[in-house]
Amino acid sequence: MTEAPIRVLVVDDSAFARKVLKQVLSAAPGISVVETARDGLDALEKIAELKPDVVTLDLLMPHLDGLGVLRSLGGAPSPRVVVVSSAGEESELAVTALQAGAVELVHKPTALATDRLYELGAELVAKVRTAAGAVVRPSEPVQPVVKAEPRPVNSTGQRLVVVGTSTGGPAALTRLMSSLPADFPAPLALALHIPPGYTEALAKRLDLNSALEVVEADNGVELRPGRAVLARAGMHLRVARDGDKLVGWLDRVPLQTAHHPSVDVLFQSAAAVWGSGAVGVVLTGMGDDGLEGARAIRAAGGHVLTESAESCVVYGMPRVVVEAGLSNARAPVEEMAALLERYVR
């Protein structure tokens, strides 16, 4: 029996962009572009009429922008939203959209109406297919919080928490970081699959919503209690020792892996440097990045926690870790902070 095609609505205020996106999606097997929309109001009318499976959503539009569309949808189970955005000025809007319920992000190679837009074709098709199988979770408003005071690293019995995620990751990281208390006793390093140009904005948003300090990774950044370091998109983040300190280092010439940053690379470095004190957390995501890293952490005597299927946007990365027998415990993302505290205190 032939599966029904994925029904897509393309939303962009540029007629040329609508044409390009429609062409590249229509050429892909199993995808049908049911209509296009020129702005947010037009999009909401066509979503109500056509009930598409996936919407590709521009952010900067007249009348009603992309964030307005997402807020109007209110976390409804369908359609799934793939944001198509330029970095730079739009990066903060794109991060906000991911926190508000969009499940994927595709980076426009140019904001201009040129043939370079065709370069996003393969990525767009792949992420529309991923989004079609995703589960949309209602977003929850998160309030800014008072920061924790920096505290020195206690090298005796100190834990190190490394977190990996992909599809649905910005919202999952927001929920996790906003739930951790100011006195959380372990440093954190976070790896997320996201296009380059968006992690600085995401780190700032997470920092605003967390009692802990959240910073984008740079070479030599100290990992200490009270701080979470977010891997810079396009580069791997590794954990290393610098005297009695833990620091993060970036691979500016990344290894040949499917994702940059790689969850496996981060987890494996934590296992090598911190041994049984490493705690890995695998959140929502597509694929198996993190599986080999989880294996390394368990082999070193550390622990691995996984997000349970009930709260995942895509139950892929956690599932392969569970099926390999490497997960010490599971919890929905809303309860992950409490579970994590039990393993680090």
Residues forming the active site: 166, 193, 289
What are the DSSP E strand ranges found in the chain? 6-11, 31-37, 54-57, 80-85, 104-107, 160-165, 188-192, 213-216, 221-223, 227-230, 236-242, 245-251, 278-282, 303-307, 329-331
Give the contacts of 271 (CB within 8 A, at least 6 positions apart).
278, 293, 296, 297, 299, 300, 302
Query: Per the structure block, which two tokens stand in for 171?
Result: 């919202």
What are the Cα distances from residue 209, in Å, to 20, 128, 145, 312? 37, 29, 6, 21
Which amino acid would we find at residue 57? L
The residue count of the chain comes to 345
Rounded (to 5) percent helix, strand, coil in the chain = 35, 25, 40
**Separation CA 12–CA 328 (nearest Å):** 45
Give the contacts of 156 (CB within 8 A, at least 6 positions apart).
none
- Which DSSP symbol is given to 277? G
**Separation CA 21–CA 199 (nearest Å):** 25
